[in-house]
Amino acid sequence: AQTVTQSQPEMSVQEAETVTLSCTYDTSESDYYLFWYKQPPSRQMILVIRQEAYKQQNATENRFSVNFQKAAKSFSLKISDSQLGDAAMYFCAYEEYEGGSEKLVFGKGTKLTVNP
């Protein structure tokens, strides 16, 4: 099974500033998907961004962007102009295919605090 590592249990950022959350993964596959999900205190999992491994261009969604380094198996999330509503647990996930269907493997998460 693949593994996903988030080395930062907690991070904090000042409102309006930029923060980067780290994620590394282990795989022998060449084609796969990577995701960042956000889980606010409501505990609803919200898709933040998705990256397809065969695409060299880094995915971007408004203030959220990734730095995808395939050779290094690194997939960091950058949040620009941080807002109070960005405070949440952030989970990095790798999608693997097993038993004929896709499965998400999650990291342990990074708790992001946004300071006013």
> Binding segment for other proteins among 18-26, 42-50, 66-74, 79-87 (CB under 8 A)?
42-50
- Residue 51: Cβ within 10 Å count: 20
Q: For residues 1 and 116, which CB has a smaller minimum distance to other proteins in the complex? A: 1
Token readout for 57 is: 């261009």
Q: For residues 70 and 111, which CB has a smaller minimum distance to other proteins in the complex? A: 111
Does residue 103 bind other proteins (CB under 8 A)?
yes
Q: For residues 15 and 102, which CB has a smaller minimum distance to other proteins in the complex? A: 102
Q: For residues 86 and 107, which CB has a smaller minimum distance to other proteins in the complex? A: 107
The span from the first CA to the last CA of the chain, in angstroms, equals: 40
Map residue 24 onto helix, strand or coil: strand
Percent of the chain that is helix, strand, coil (3-state, to 5): 5, 55, 40
> Binding segment for other proteins among 53-61, 65-73, 79-87, 93-101 (CB under 8 A)?
93-101
Q: How far is CA 70 from CA 12, 29, 34, 102, in A?
A: 27, 11, 11, 20
The contact set with other proteins (CB under 8 A) reads: 33, 35, 37, 42-47, 50, 91, 95, 99, 101-104, 106-109
